[in-house]
């Protein structure tokens, strides 16, 4: 099975509020994380926020978490904030046991993130 069957990544620029929405579906592991890293190349543009829709992500190992940490660093360096939205229980457990819930802004839904960013 190739990595395209295990994970899908869609990147969408939104103008109002200015965010980059990244939808991740499937499983992020050692073999599939490079697909996410490639899709994020150059994202987000300066001053924009990065929003991950993880509602379709069923599994995330340490390599996937490492990619999210790298995305967070890049977003902060570009002057934005990174949000994780609609995180499944399984993925949230991985984030929590590694204490990354202290680093990431986690929200219940994309709508919650967009409302927060619009209000800022």
Q: DSSP assignment of 16-57, as one string?
A: TTTEEEEEEEEEESTTTHHHHHHHTTT-SPTT-EEEEEEEEE
Q: Name the domain count of the chain.
A: 1
Helix (H, G, I), strand (E, B) or coil at 11: strand
pLDDT for the residue 1: 41
Q: Beta 7-14 vs 19-28: how paired, if at all?
A: antiparallel
pLDDT for the residue 3: 47
CB 85 within 8 A of CB 94: no
Q: Determine the Cα angle at 118 with ends 86 and 11, to 5°.
A: 50
pLDDT for the residue 16: 82
- CATH number, domain of 108, equals 3.30.750.24
Domain limits at 115? 3-119
pLDDT for the residue 5: 65
Q: Which pLDDT tens digits describe the chain residue by residue (120 residues)? A: 444 568 999 999 988 888 999 999 999 999 999 999 999 998 999 989 999 999 999 999 999 999 999 999 999 999 999 999 999 999 999 999 999 999 999 999 999 999 999 987
């Amino acid at each position: 099975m190739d990595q395209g069957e295990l994970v899908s990544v869609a990147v969408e620029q939104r103008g109002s509020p200015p965010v980059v929405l990244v939808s991740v579906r499937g499983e992020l592991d050692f073999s599939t994380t490079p697909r996410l890293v490639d899709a994020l190349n150059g994202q987000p543009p300066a001053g924009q926020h990065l929003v991950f829709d993880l509602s379709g992500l069923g599994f995330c190992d340490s390599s996937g978490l490492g990619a999210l940490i790298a995305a967070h660093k890049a977003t902060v360096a570009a002057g934005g904030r990174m949000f994780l939205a609609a995180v499944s229980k399984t993925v949230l457990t991985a984030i929590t046991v590694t204490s990354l819930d202290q680093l990431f802004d986690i929200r219940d839904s994309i709508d919650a993130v967009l409302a927060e960013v619009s209000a800022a």
